[in-house]
Amino acid sequence: MAGRGAVQLWIGAGLSGFFCLAGLLSLVWTPYDVTVLDIGNKLAPPSAEHLLGTDHLGRDMLSMIMAGARTSIAVALVAVGIGIGLGVPLGLWAAARKGSLTDEIVMRGNDLVFAFPSLVIAILITAVFGPSAVNAIIAIGIFNIPVFARVARGAALTLWTQDFILAARVAGKKSARISVEHILPNIANLLIVQGTIQFSLGILAEAGLSYVGLGTQPPTPSWGRMLADAQTFFYGNPSLAILPGLAIVLTVLGLNLMGDGLRDALDPRLQRSIR
Amino acid sequence: MGYILSRLISLVVSLAAASVVIFAAVEVVPGDPAAFMLGLNASEDTIAALRAELGLDGSVLERYVGWVGGMLTGDFGTSYTYRVPVADLVSQRIVVSLPLAGYALLLSTLLAVPAGLVAAAWRGRAPDYGIMAASQLGIAVPNFWFAMLLVLAFAITWKIFPAGGFPGWEAGFWAGMRALTLPAIALALPQAAILARVLRSALIEQTGQDYIRTARAKGLSSGAALRRHGLRNAMIPVLTILGLQFSFLLAGAIIIENVFFLPGLGRLIFQGITQRDLVVVESVTMLLVCAVIVVTFLVDIAYALVDPRLRRR
């Protein structure tokens, strides 16, 4: 079974790495400029000049997909960063004071966030503060906080009962220092696995928000927006909708495979968390 | 009884907390809700008139108590754009959203339970790999994109189902179900993929148990032992997921209802947002969150019914 995990890991890393690289490359180079419209050349089929054809405004689809990768991946990555940056300290703090009022408040707050249908609240946030990529990041990021808090607390609690932590306490270290020096390195594996899962969910969420017009705003290209634009020209030009969708599916699939593979590689006993 | 009471208390606390969060997000954070609703070009007089209409002149506490009190007595306020009570809008829309969610949940269960059983019974062999690969793909597909593909295949290429819209239940049961079929499939597929995976691992956990060995010893095939005895014991994680999926289905429906132009609750919220009709947004959001919290409560109670050991806790 170890072999299968490794295969998953490499296929997943290859797929998601490919789109991450495409997004990075788009920062410095795309085949065509996506901010320049060429209406005379709109809805062109794939050709030597435009490998994937052009969209309804004459923009090169390959360039759009590359630039869209940049947006989707950046939004999801920052949202994961928010989740780790705020959720992990909260979880560690709650674990260090298990059973205290702090622990209770952190965990009940988590339950509350889980009770909300995430998309409803994301839509509410973008509606109140206005649709933008930044507000989409905040809306997605908020829901990553309780996820990471829960994972960090659960893993930290089992560590707190172990002898090497007891030794550190006997040595007179404060609980905050123990959390950072001893607990955090030991739960890093778990956090990385959860991180890839949240990363893939973030890409799906960004696509959904942008698709209904509450995420990334034009002219910034994003896969969700491309799908929304494609809907009007769907009948004659299905490839406009199929290409960005495939990009989303392959990236998310790659991240999920990578998460599964990493989990097997880092700790075979680890249970996949419920999503 | 103690178990049910503790769940009941947590139900009430969650509902109260959710109402505070939604009220704060909609009415306090944007500053003056009346000015927000009317936009930049509104005159002082219209804003003042709307403030009076919405009862915004009272203190924040008075407004909150008024809103919650109204919700409890079935008064969800009056929509600013539609000029009708929100309760009327909700009752028109819920007859689309609820059947859609139920239809999708049914499809997802019908797909996932056999798939999970087959994968668990043939663990590590071809059917298992096939089902797991398919479910991996199902999780990665955004449901609105899958919806677009379904429209392309079954509404444009082969004209079997309508591409969108809802004729109303007056047009007959089958006409309504036909309009809901593609949206329900689009909603159900990713849910079925998750459910099949959870069911498979829950069942595999059961295969090592003594009671399964006993059932095998008395002559049941491994598949029959899993079906008759394993399935019931694997129900707890499955129930959790089904409860969670209800909230996904409600939220996912917001986007799917937009793809298919279905006049459901999700589309109502969405229209409320684009028209800045805060009364609609606030009350319908609360209603959706309330539905999710109540379903979570019911799932907790269902645990106790499935597993009598929990009742004694």
Reported as a single tens digit per residue, the pLDDT across A126-159 is 777 777 888 888 888 988 998 899 889 888 888 8
Average pLDDT over residues A60-87: 90
B18 touching chain A per CB within 8 A: yes
Which pLDDT does position A83 carry in this prediction?
93
From residue A27, alpha-carbon distances to A9, A48, A59, A146 in Å are 27, 23, 17, 32
Of the pLDDT bands very low, low, confident and very high (cuts 50, 70, 90), residue B313 is very low
Greater model confidence, A117 or A213: A213
Q: Which residues pair with B85 in a beta bridge?
A: B78
Average pLDDT over residues B39-63: 76
User: Quick one: tokens of B5?
Assistant: 């009471």
Reported as a single tens digit per residue, the pLDDT across A30-48 is 777 777 777 777 777 777 7
Residue with tokens 């095998």: B216
Taking any CB pair shorter than 8 Å as contact, residues of chain A touching chain B are 108, 111-112, 115-120, 123-125, 127-129, 200, 204, 207-208, 211-212, 214, 227, 230-231, 234-235, 238, 241-242, 245, 248-250, 252-253, 256-257, 272, 274-275
Give the gap in angstroms from C-alpha A172 to the nearest C-alpha of chain B.
39
What are chain B's domains? 88-311 (1.10.3720.10)
Could you give the count of Cα atoms lying within 13 Å of B225 in the half-sphere of its Cβ? 21
Q: Which residues of B touch A112 (CB under 8 A)?
A: 14, 17-18, 21
Give the gap in angstroms from C-alpha B137 to the nearest C-alpha of chain A.
7
Of the pLDDT bands very low, low, confident and very high (cuts 50, 70, 90), residue A89 is very high
> Considering the domain boundaries, does residue A157 fall inside one?
yes
Which three-class secondary structure string do you get for chain B? Answer: CHHHHHHHHHHHHHHHHHHHHHHHHHHHCCCCHHHHHHCCCCCHHHHHHHHHHHCCCCCHHHHHHHHHHHHHCCCCCECCCCCCEHHHHHHHHHHHHHHHHHHHHHHHHHHHHHHHHHHHHCCCCHHHHHHHHHHHHHHHCCHHHHHHHHHHHHHHHCCCCCCCCCCCHHHCHHHHHHHHHHHHHHHHHHHHHHHHHHHHHHHHHHHCCHHHHHHHHCCCCHHHHHHHHHHHHCHHHHHHHHHHHHHHHHHHHHHHHHHCCCCCHHHHHHHHHHCCCHHHHHHHHHHHHHHHHHHHHHHHHHHHHHCHHHHCC
Which pLDDT does position A1 carry in this prediction?
45
Domain of A234, in residue numbers: 71-253
Count of structural domains within chain A: 1
Residues A88 and A80 sit within 8 Å (Cβ to Cβ): no
Q: Which residues of A touch B29 (CB under 8 A)?
A: 128-129
Task: Compute the residue count for chain A.
Answer: 275
Give the gap in angstroms from C-alpha A93 to the nearest C-alpha of chain B.
23
Residue among A58, A64, A63 nearest A40 (CA): A58
Greater model confidence, B83 or B197: B197
CA A218 to chain centre: 21
At CA B264, angle to CA A208 and CA B35, rounded to 5? Answer: 75
Which pLDDT does position A4 carry in this prediction?
64
> Considering the domain boundaries, does residue A269 fall inside one?
no
Torsion, Cα B257 B259 B262 B267, to 10 degrees, reads 50
CATH number, residue A142: 1.10.3720.10
- The percentage of residues in chain B with a pLDDT greater than 90, rounded to a whole number, is 9
> Considering the domain boundaries, does residue A33 fall inside one?
no
Contacts of B100 (CB under 8 A, 6+ apart): B180, B183, B184, B187, B249, B253, B256, B257, B262, B264
User: How far is B209 from B70, CA to CA, in rounded Å?
Assistant: 53
Q: DSSP assignment, residue A48?
A: S
Which pLDDT does position A36 carry in this prediction?
74
Of the pLDDT bands very low, low, confident and very high (cuts 50, 70, 90), residue B169 is confident
Give the gap in angstroms from C-alpha B103 to the nearest C-alpha of chain A.
19
User: How far is A209 from A140, CA to CA, in rounded Å?
Assistant: 10
- For residue B59, is pLDDT > 50? yes
Residue with tokens 């028109």: B92
Does B148 sit within 8 Å of A241, measured CB to CB?
Answer: yes
- Longest Cα–Cα distance of chain B, Å, equals 83
Of the pLDDT bands very low, low, confident and very high (cuts 50, 70, 90), residue A272 is very low
Which pLDDT does position B31 carry in this prediction?
66
User: How far is B252 from B259, CA to CA, in rounded Å?
Assistant: 11
At CA A220, angle to CA A216 and CA A226, rounded to 5? Answer: 75
- For residue A2, is pLDDT > 60? no
User: How far is B145 from A127, CA to CA, in rounded Å?
Assistant: 23
> Considering the domain boundaries, does residue A273 fall inside one?
no
Residues A114 and B17 sit within 8 Å (Cβ to Cβ): no
Contacts of A139 (CB under 8 A, 6+ apart): A121, A122, A123, A125, A126, A209
Does A117 sit within 8 Å of B248, measured CB to CB?
Answer: yes
At CA A125, angle to CA A114 and CA A254, rounded to 5? Answer: 60
Q: Which of B144, B199, B274 would best serve as a mutation to test chain A binding (most A beta carbons within 10 A)?
A: B144
Average pLDDT over residues B56-74: 82
Does A124 sit within 8 Å of B281, measured CB to CB?
Answer: yes
> Considering the domain boundaries, does residue A48 fall inside one?
no
Average pLDDT over residues A93-117: 80
Mean pLDDT over all residues of chain A? Answer: 83
Reported as a single tens digit per residue, the pLDDT across A162-197 is 888 888 888 888 888 888 888 888 888 889 888 998
Of the pLDDT bands very low, low, confident and very high (cuts 50, 70, 90), residue B310 is low
Is the omega angle on the peptide bond into residue A218 within 30 degrees of 0, that is, cis?
no
Does A111 sit within 8 Å of B14, measured CB to CB?
Answer: yes
- Most trustworthy range by pLDDT among A81-85, A122-126, A133-137: A81-85
Task: For residue B78, report the phi and psi dihedrals to the nearest 5 degrees.
Answer: -115, 130
Q: Which of A128, A200, A235 would best serve as a mutation to test chain B binding (most B beta carbons within 10 A)?
A: A128
Q: Which residues pair with A60 in a beta bridge?
A: A54
Reported as a single tens digit per residue, the pLDDT across B90-145 is 888 888 888 998 899 999 999 998 999 888 888 888 888 899 889 989 889 998 99
Contacts of A137 (CB under 8 A, 6+ apart): A75, A78, A79, A82
Q: Which of A1, A15, A121, A198 would best serve as a mutation to test chain B binding (most B beta carbons within 10 A)?
A: A121
> Considering the domain boundaries, does residue A98 fall inside one?
yes
Give the gap in angstroms from C-alpha B242 to the nearest C-alpha of chain A.
12
Which pLDDT does position A271 carry in this prediction?
46
- For residue A78, is pLDDT > 90? yes
